[in-house]
Amino acid sequence: MNLKTIVKKAGPYAYIVPAMTIFAVFLFFPFFKTIYLSLYKTNKMGQAKLYVGLLNYTDLLNSPSFFNSLLVTAVFVLIVVTVSMLLGLVAAVLCSKTFPGIRIFSTAYALPMAIASSSAAMIFKIMLHPSIGIVNKILGFHINWISDPRYALACVALLTAWLNSGINFLYFSAGLSNIEETIYERASVDGANAVQKFFFLTLPGLSPIMFYTLVVNIIQAFQSFGQVKVLTQGGPGESTNLIVYSIYRDAFFNYRFGSAAAQSVLLFLIIMILTICMFRLEKKGVSY
């Protein structure tokens, strides 16, 4: 095989070299470095000093704080995914009909995706203030929402759900536009009402985009950080100590980079297993 033939065959692969280089620097290297650090005790600069094998993992699995983070994260993800998808779906259905001012409503429903989580959290923090907050003023309560363990997690979760609802609105709007109007016309001729059309035509037609949205929302919910950092810092107590915030606190406050790396690896495994399970169940609940 001469040089010209080799260059000709290798040519197409040269186009992916820049992309693979970026992935290697910003994705693959940090990933394997995290696994490496999870096997070591580190100094305050994050440098590996003492090889301890799986000790960081066994310490986590014997830690009540870590299991509390898992439980808090599970509840948080459940609330965020359910509420954000419901908000996005309802808004998309409302805006699927043509009426005066539809563009204004569509822009308003999609607006949360353009707002930074930290900025929204600061506004939300003022709204929930026990004395000057508008929420207590409207409801007539005197609750310190983000300082009460009973309400703090729900407040952070609802803010996150609202932030995620904008992109969900766009996903569902795109899905609704792909459903042929003639299907609804035939259903009307057969005497189907609006509720029957929604459950037997709209939802099955949206099942592919709903599956995609579910996977994306679960991954995003597991990675939520800015809201917790601004609103509660994992408190009160550990009522909002999500795994991501626990990783941040262990690494940059307690300087336990090995333990933080081990938590990162476990979080990766949890998300990977959930994603694999959802794709395994895709054929049973999704109709194309």
- Looking at the predicted structure, is the pLDDT value of residue 287 above 90? no
- Looking at the predicted structure, is the pLDDT value of residue 28 above 80? yes
Query: Which pLDDT value is given to residue 2?
Result: 65
Task: Give the separation between CA 183 and CA 56, rounded to whole angstroms.
Answer: 57
How confident is the prediction for the chain on average, in pLDDT?
Answer: 88
- Looking at the predicted structure, is the pLDDT value of residue 201 above 80? yes
Contact 115, 121 (CB under 8 A): no
- Looking at the predicted structure, is the pLDDT value of residue 1 above 60? no
Query: Which pLDDT value is given to residue 47?
Result: 87
**Beta-ladder partners of 40:** 51
Query: Which pLDDT value is given to residue 3?
Result: 65
Buried b (16+ CB within 10 A) or exposed e, 202-223: beebbeebbbebbbebbebbbe
Query: Which pLDDT value is given to residue 115?
Result: 86
> In this predicted model, what pLDDT tens digit does every residue of 120-178 receive, in sequence order?
999 999 999 888 889 999 988 888 999 899 999 999 999 999 999 999 999 999 888 88
In 239-280, the DSSP E strands lie at none
Query: Which pLDDT value is given to residue 285?
Result: 65
Task: Give the separation between CA 209 and CA 93, rounded to whole angstroms.
Answer: 14
- Looking at the predicted structure, is the pLDDT value of residue 230 above 70? yes
